[in-house]
Structure formats: structure tokens, C-alpha cells
Structure 1
């Protein structure tokens, strides 16, 4: 039976997560709550967020701070980060998790669709980080940006997602360099094919999973909890000298 780490430094730490209602985001909310962190998150899906809060309460954990919003609304997103920090007494950790990996044909992609996909996959990552850095300048913090191994592999059929996830790696390095002297660490997480309800519903067919399994070294599913465990480490003091790095968690695919 697997036994995972407890990080004393995360107790009471103020953590804000984008896209926290389901999938990897829900695993992040759950994992940080279990560590004793004060957690806030945003998502469009208010019913899933309510169900998550109910599950946490059933486990004896406090309900996280939540606000339903569209992360492409920069004013609303930055306002939520500021309001959470005011309610929690500060901000220590930002996790830019939200994304949209919709498939689209490059030749059929119009300007509006392209800009919409970049807004949710890249722009909100920058603007959330901007708001968080302003709050972290006095005391430092950890920003964890979610990229993807698709930034390295460049699969067909999702050029906006691939471009955005590659840009996040560069953004991570730029912010880490600029704000390291302020005690702000910035790292990126590059997951492989994580088994979430969305992936199972849309793309992870038995045939696709069999092909994926042939390509990886570890012949097991990557679960949202596996990714959350990496984020815990990057938020904790155990990783205090790690910044500007990109961590692949894909079972040995790349």
C-alpha cells in the first residue's frame, strides 16, 4: 500500500488554484486541504465545486474558498486572487492548473477561436501570476504552472494547446529569474496522459490507452493524485532551492 509524505511547512499555507472543481484541480484542492493548507480555487463549474466541498467535509476537511468565474475574465480572476488573499491573510502558493485541450484543425481555426484558446491556456496563467506576485513580494512564495508533455512532443490536432503549453515553460523561467531575489519560486509541471473523467469521456479509449501503455516505462495509469503529490513537494519548503525548472510526470513517455 502506498504511503505518501506529509509536509509540515504546508500547514496553514495559503494556496490558490485555478480550475479546481474537477480532474487534476480537484485532486490539488483535496491534497492541499489534507496537508492543512488554507485553499481557495476558481472554476466555471459551480456544481462540481459544491460536490467537491461536500466530499471534503465528509472526510473531515474544511470547505475550500471558492468563486465561480471564467478565468479569461482577467479582472474577475485577479479580483478573486486578491479577495482570497484578504480572507486568508495572505497568499503563499499559486497553482495555474486550468486549461482547455480541445482539438482543432489548424487550417479551420479562425482568429477568434485561436485567441479564445490562448486566453484560457496561456493568458490567464500570466495574469494570475501577476496578481499573485504582487501579493508575494513581501514574503516570497511558490508559483506552479501547469504545462504538458505535449509541449515537448508536439502532437497534431491541438496547435493552440501545444503552443500555449510550450510558452508556459518559457514564462516560468522568465518569472523565476525576475523574482527569485524576492523569494518567489516558479516551476512548471508537465504531466503526461492523466486519467480524468474528461479524458475518459472524450479521448482515452481502450485502444488509445493500450497504445499509450506501450509507449511508457511504468505500465500504470497516471492519476490526478500522482500529479498533486508533485505539486505538494514544489509548494513545500522541502523544495526551497528549486526554481525555474520543468518537471515531467508521465510514467516515462518522453
Structure 2
């Protein structure tokens, strides 16, 4: 899908946007779509090579590139320090997209306490602490949008990864509670719930002819959910067009759940 054929959101021009896991997959689509809108974009990722390639590609296509910092989001002190450094360089963050996650499969029989905690440290804990880091700046400006990326996996009763589905189910509870706490300062908090998105990782590891047939059976809509489809919903929620949307979940899954 060519971004030139999609809508523009004038309110996103020059907004400071921070994205976790913005170097590959859905995150790369988020990064590109915000750059295309004229936003000042920064992202963190642990994939340095992929992130550098993305920067170079966006520089070539748009004449500007996002700011990239390598950061392991499980290290909360490092994450919050990186957010502070980016805010000092670009200005207070207007939009936070909590995107980074890892959907590694695992059996309930083999799940240890240590593995469970590690899954939460990747898929849930950084979301709250990234919010904690950006909210003082948003509160001072009396404006801001936070978008947490969830998953339809738990709604679809997907098995084979209980820690992941638990973390993703918890995200909407985090969204709704925080939306209440910060709404008085005109800060919006929402969840975007992707379906089965055709990222490079999914295509490499799990999308087979059999699973493709399952997608065809389960989705109401024909075709495949692509990273840009998720990004377009995130753009709407980041923009002033959604100024009265908060504490909600917005599902982009082709009508699966």
C-alpha cells in the first residue's frame, strides 16, 4: 500500500513521537507513517542493523530520518533515561506508542517463574514505565496521546503462549485505568488491537498454507492485515481527529474477533 494514497493528519506535523520497537515489523511501519506525516520521530529498538537500514531508507525517501537509540526496554532505568534524552533533544513527547513486544511460543507445562517474569518484563512492564516517563511533559502541556499495542490473541483463545496472552490482555486494563488518571489533563490513552499481521517475523516463523487457510476462515474481510493497517489506526489516535477518544480499544483484525 502506497502511503501517498492514504490520508494526512495535519495535526501530526512537527509532533514529537516516541515509539518502542520501532525498527522492524509493525514498529517500522509506525515509524515510517509518522515520518511521512511530518512528525519528529524517535524510536528505540535492540535490532541495530535493521534500525539503521530503516533510517537510511527513510532518509532517502523523505529527506529526513527518525532519531534512533538502541535500548533494551526491559532495563527500565535505561528506557526512562533514553526517553529523557530524546525529550531534551526533540522537545517534550506529544505521542507515545508502546509497541515493542515478543510473542515467543511456550508451553504452560514448561513455564517457570523466571520465564513468566521475563515475558512480563518485555510485554507489559515497559508500557507503564514509558508512560510514567512521558506524562510529566504531557501534563505540563495539557495535551498528549498514548497508544498501547495489544493483541487479539487472547480474545481468539489462542493457546501455546500463556504469558504473552496474559500480558496482552492486561494492557487494556492499564489503558483504561491510566486514561482515567490523566484525562483531566487532556491526555488520551487507547489500545490498538492488531489481528494476525503479516510481518516478516510472522511470515518466516508461523504463516503456513494451513494457517493461511485459517486466516481466510476467521476473518470477515478477504486479504491480509499488513503493518501499515495498524499504523493508520495509530495515526488517527495520535492526531487531533480523535480528540474525544480515550480508554478504548480499536481492533484492526479483518473482523476476526
Corresponding residue to 1:191 among 188, 191, 194: 194
Q: Unpaired segments of 5 or more residues in structure 1? A: none
Alpha-carbon shift at residue 61 of structure 1 (Å) = 3.4
What TM-score results when the alignment is normalised by the length of structure 2?
0.97
Q: Any idea what the Cα deviations from partners look like across 1:94-141, whole Å, max 9, x if unmatched?
A: 000000100101111111111111110000111111111122111120
Correspondences of 1:119-130 after superposition (within 5 Å): 119-130=121-132
Corresponding residue to 2:222 among 219, 224, 230: 219
Corresponding residue to 2:99 among 86, 97, 100: 97
Which residue pairs with 2:237 in the alignment?
234
Which residue pairs with 1:24 in the alignment?
26
SS in 2 for 1:39: strand
Instruction: Report the Cα distance in structure 1 between the residues aligned to 2:216 and 2:134, rounded to whole angstroms.
Output: 38
After TM superposition, the runs of 4+ consecutive aligned structure 1 residues lying more than 6 A away are none
Alpha-carbon shift at residue 12 of structure 1 (Å) = 0.3
Q: Unpaired segments of 5 or more residues in structure 2? A: none
Alpha-carbon shift at residue 154 of structure 1 (Å) = 2.7
**Contact 1:34/1:61, CA 8 A, preserved across alignment:** no
Alpha-carbon shift at residue 71 of structure 1 (Å) = 0.4
Alpha-carbon shift at residue 155 of structure 1 (Å) = 1.0
**Contact 2:36/2:62, CA 8 A, preserved across alignment:** no
Which residue pairs with 1:68 in the alignment?
70
Q: Does 1:206 align with 2:192?
A: no
Alpha-carbon shift at residue 89 of structure 1 (Å) = 1.5
Deviation larger for 88-97 or 130-139: 130-139
SS in 2 for 1:208: helix
Instruction: Report the Cα distance in structure 1 between the residues aligned to 2:21 and 2:149, rounded to whole angstroms.
Output: 11
Which residue pairs with 1:136 in the alignment?
138
**Contact 2:83/2:133, CA 8 A, preserved across alignment:** yes
Alpha-carbon shift at residue 151 of structure 1 (Å) = 2.9
What TM-score results when the alignment is normalised by the length of structure 1?
0.98
Which residue pairs with 2:59 in the alignment?
57
**Contact 2:150/2:193, CA 8 A, preserved across alignment:** yes
Alpha-carbon shift at residue 183 of structure 1 (Å) = 1.1
